[in-house]
Amino acid sequence: MAAQSGGRARRAGSRPGCRGGRPVSATITPARETGLAIRLEGVSLGYGRHAVLEDLHLDVAPGEVLVIVGPSGSGKSTILRAVAGLLTPRAGRVLAQGVPVAGPSPDRAMVFQDDALLPWRTVRRNVELPLRIRGVPRRERGPAAESWIARVGLAGWEDRLPRELSGGMRQRVQLARSLAAAPRAVLMDEPFGALDAQTRGEMQRLLLDVLRDTAATVVFVTHDVDEALLLADRVVVLGRGGIGRVLPVPGPRTPETDRAGLRARIIEEL
């Protein structure tokens, strides 16, 4: 089933070379401030002899937040792995800004449910890592990392190791690390799924807040319909073997917005 892009302007006020009005280091070029256009053209995915998804067609607009929901085993994470360049399609193409995805790229940052922090590196050094990969000079990496650490509410924790942090704090570090090098797309695989309800709500609010400071395209996977409705510009509902429905989500993005009718439609599709 073909699905057209439909992002809306959710980050008004930002301009090339700035994040939320704050200057960006010259090393992180303004071009990276533009969200990545992502396209799936006739994509079929699977593992070994097991086919998971067939003939997917999907466009994700630059700067859009697209949330994928579906039952366990429907292929949500499989799509994300293909977009990340971690899984080669059996058929069809995954395109990033019109270029076939042939492998991982710093322009497409992954955020996992397991925080995937390096346990021997401090918070600061974990957040510096993508900047180092980008080739940012050492003298710039520290201040840039500290800025993002403060942005996610962890100022004062820069020299702690991951084992000294709670689950929610580790996810904050992972979020800072994923955004520090200004990727053009952020791919999030149920990042809050292992958190308790209160911490999960805090992380959802934090994510909405920090997304105002970046033009990145976001593809977010979840099994939680309410989370999808809170975060998304559009929700992709996966059915058996493919996309069942693509639904736009009306704003504003607040828990108080009444989306009961849309929620019922998504649950019916599931």
CATH assignment of the domain containing 227 = 3.40.50.300
Per-residue pLDDT tens for 119-175?
999 999 999 999 998 899 999 999 999 999 999 999 999 999 999 999 999 999 999
Start-to-end CA span in the chain (Å): 16
2 pLDDT higher than 70: no
Q: What is the pLDDT of residue 4?
A: 55
Determine the average pLDDT of the residues in 227-251. Answer: 89
- pLDDT tens by residue, 32-75: 468 999 999 999 999 888 888 999 999 999 999 999 999 888 89
At residue 224, the pLDDT reads 92
Residue 145 located in a structural domain: yes
Structural domain includes residue 41:
no
* Residue 246: closest CA among 254, 257, 238, 255: 238
Residue 264 lies inside a defined structural domain of this protein: yes
Higher per-residue pLDDT: 53 or 4: 53
Q: What is the pLDDT of residue 57?
A: 95
By DSSP bridging, strand 65-69 and strand 217-221 are: parallel
In this structure, is residue 112 part of a structural domain?
Answer: yes
Taking all residues of the chain, what is their mean pLDDT, rounded to a whole number?
A: 85
Residue-number span of the structural domain to which 178 is assigned? 61-85+102-269
Is residue 24 over pLDDT 60? no
Does 23 fall in a domain?
A: no
pLDDT band at 12 (very low <50, low <70, confident <90, very high): very low
Q: How many domains does the chain have?
A: 1
Rounded average pLDDT over 186-199: 90
Tell me if the bond preceding 252 is cis, omega within 30° of 0.
yes
Q: How many CB atoms lie within 10 A of CB 263?
A: 15
Residue 139 belongs to a domain: yes
Report the pLDDT value the prediction gives residue 218, as an integer from 0 to 100: 96
Which pLDDT value is given to residue 268? Answer: 83
In this predicted structure, what is the pLDDT of residue 33? Answer: 61
Strands 22-23 and 65-69 turn out to be unpaired
| Per-residue confidence band for 112, with pLDDT thresholds at 50, 70 and 90 | confident
Interatomic CA distance for residues 64 and 98, integer angstroms: 16
- Residue 149 backbone phi and psi in degrees, to 5: -60, -45
Give a yes or no: residue 190 inside a domain: yes
